[in-house]
Amino acid sequence: MKNIIQEKPTNDLHGRLLHTIKFIDNKDIKNKIVLDIGCGYGWCELNLLKRGVKKIYATEVTSEDLDTIKKNIKHPKVVYQVANATNLPFPDKSVDTVLCWEVIEHIPVGTEKQLFSEVHRILKPYGSFYLSTPYKSWPSMVFDPAWWLIGHRHYSLKELNQYANSKKMTMSKNTIKGRWWELTGILNMYFSKWILRRNPLFRSMFYKKIDHEYKQPGFIDIFVKFTK
């Protein structure tokens, strides 16, 4: 993940990121070995360390993608690893919990079952797999520039459940969040980051609106927990 505006990990989370943290059950973190597939800049790692995690494997697909988290989070419980989501370099039954936030839509088309297969392989019995991805609804797709430009994938609850069931994992809980303010915020983020090379315009106002919006059901982001 190229850090073009020099962002840093923070515990000041809003909208999707804040809901992501709240969605993870404490029992799946405290004193557990956790794998974070696609750790990004490390915002999740900061939270997991506060919640008493035993060890975190923070992975990205290239060493360059790990630069930001390595510079900003130096902790003995965090282990950095270059890894491909469909070919994870970890032993069988070695991890208690796997996190996969906004990643599945970026892996090669048709490899979703391989991702679930790898997660199932490395999870301990009764381990947990948390996943989030863009939800397959018409507003979420139509107002997503990446959907038009590069075929950015969105998923239904049924599709994700089929992938899990094929690998003998069951859905424990799910929720769909995000509405019109988040859609507008995504467009603002794209414009501010890629055109203006700066943080989003009117960021505080958008945070307030989106945080309020996340208190009700939505149609933008889907969050799911599966159990082995």
CATH match of 15-135+155-177+218-227 with 3.40.50.1100? no
Beta bridge partners of 156: none
User: Could you tell me the pTM of the whole model?
Assistant: 0.95
Q: What is the pLDDT of residues 164-215, one digit of tens each?
A: 999 999 999 999 999 999 999 988 888 888 888 888 889 999 999 999 999 9
Domain residue spans in the chain?
Answer: 15-135+155-177+218-227
DSSP 35-79: EEET-TTSHHHHHHHHTTBSEEEEEESSTGGGHHHHHH---TTEE
Number of neighbours of residue 177 by Cβ within 10 angstroms: 24
pLDDT beyond 80 at 1: no
Number of neighbours of residue 156 by Cβ within 10 angstroms: 12
**According to DSSP H, which parts of 41-179 are helical?**
43-50, 67-72, 112-122, 138-142, 145-150, 157-166
